[in-house]
Amino acid sequence: MKRTSLPPRGLSDRQISNNDTPTLRLYQVWKGNNKFALRGRLIFGSDARSLYLTIFLIVVPVILFCSLVSQSLVNYFPKNIGLLLVAIPAVFTLYILVLIFFVAARDPGIIPRNPPSPDLDDDWDASSMSTDWAATQSGKYLPPTKSLNVNGTMVRVKFCQTCMLYRPPRCSHCAICNNCVDRFDHHCPWVGQCIGKRNYRSFFMFVSSLAILCTYVFAMCWINIIMIMQENSSGIWEALMKSPISGILITYTFTASWFVGGLSAFHIYLVITNQTTYENFRNRYERRKNPFNHGCAQNFKEVLFSKIPRSQNEFRTFVRPEVYTQYNSSRYFGYAFSLNFSKKSYETETSIDGIELDLERCDTSGTDHSSKWVTAPDLHRLASKFISENVNKDKEKRQGV
């Protein structure tokens, strides 16, 4: 199939849809803030550049240890044991870098978005559309939340106005990556990626392995200092002056151990109780039962030893771009949140004390967006507040005159 490029910038959605636009891959028109590599095979978060800092903070101390401190350990210990002590941190670091790659470059469990309307694409599979979205297209009112029965406990789920779907249980919308993520734990700034159902295990192994590596380097540096003290019959300060790198690494790994060690212990607690960081910080199960808690052993098996589910998105599949280029949450909701009701988009008809407004009228494009207003009751409240403020200002002006 012939390779295609993205539509030129500056064209409106209507211009793009009217043109004979070639077929593009899903990752090329994806509305999230993700960054893709290798033509959609790898998906990173919006702040993936933080990976450089994280890798630097891990690799540089290990290089200093293996190149400067380990030479003394090789001389102090038998040859085979000394070489093994040097090889352990090097191999462990490579293992940690692989885990970072699995955490940062994998789909964390992004829930597919609903397109604006199935009428935009004749080839669109209607069976893939959720019944909730079909309800919005038919003009029915969708409540902002609804309740589901999960293991005998009622769980409330919210409607996402960005992704146009009811979020599954334990799903949350990440404001940084602009995606709904299944079993959302948190957005990790150190790897620049959301932590969700598909990469939580790799994240847990990454954090715990990093804690072990810090402890190992910390202990080996202390052993090196003690051996220098015994060999030269000197005090600790003289030994630190002879091997200043050991002192620097001791301070660095001690500080890092508190951070990654405490984080590892916290996530062990979360695994035992089958919680996410997001749920724990929100105190979701402080006053009610956790419907996902099946006991310590079963929780460990479910979180750490269960099969990683397949990604729900095929980012390399070819799609009709107008299905996604015409969908923009700000197009439907941005006018209300910015308090910018332009005459071009919304005509005025209803009169309230001299101020004419009609929030149910659509733009002149002929597409009925009234259902979008129906699905967002908060916008009505915001618009009402806007109306009342202008009415009060108008009255004050009249009284002043």
The pLDDT assigned to 212 comes to: 96
What residue type is assigned to position 169 of the chain? P
| Cα diameter, the chain | 98
The pLDDT assigned to 58 comes to: 96
**Catalytic-role residue among 160, 171, 188, 194:** 188
The pLDDT assigned to 324 comes to: 54
Distance CA 369, CA 345 (A): 11
Nearest to 315 by CA among 5, 28, 3: 28
For residue 16, what is the enclosing H or E element? helix 13-18
H helices of 105-243, in order, are 131-137, 200-232, 236-242
Distances (CA, A) of 104 to 14, 187, 190, 191: 35, 11, 9, 6
163: Cβ contacts below 8 Å, ≥ 6 apart: 111, 113, 114, 173, 179, 180
The pLDDT assigned to 234 comes to: 83
Task: Return the DSSP state at 110.
Answer: B
The pLDDT assigned to 343 comes to: 32
What percentage of the chain's residues is helix, strand, coil (to nearest 5)? 50, 10, 40
To the nearest 10°, the Cα dihedral for 22, 23, 27, 28? 0
> What pairing do the DSSP bridges indicate for beta strands 153-160 and 145-150?
antiparallel
The pLDDT assigned to 320 comes to: 73
- For the entire predicted model, the pTM comes to 0.71
What is the token pair recorded at 100?
Answer: 């970072």
The pLDDT assigned to 281 comes to: 93
Distance CA 336, CA 343 (A): 13
In order along the chain (401 residues), what is the average pLDDT of each group of 10 residues? 47 47 80 92 93 96 92 80 88 96 96 65 41 50 78 85 89 95 96 96 96 95 91 87 93 95 96 95 87 93 93 88 48 31 32 35 36 40 51 58 51
Distance CA 203, CA 190 (A): 11
Nearest to 274 by CA among 308, 306, 298, 309: 298
Please indicate whether residue 188 is annotated as part of the active site.
yes
- Contact assessment for residue 158 and residue 166, using Cβ atoms and an 8 Å cutoff: yes
Nearest to 87 by CA among 208, 264, 52, 95: 95
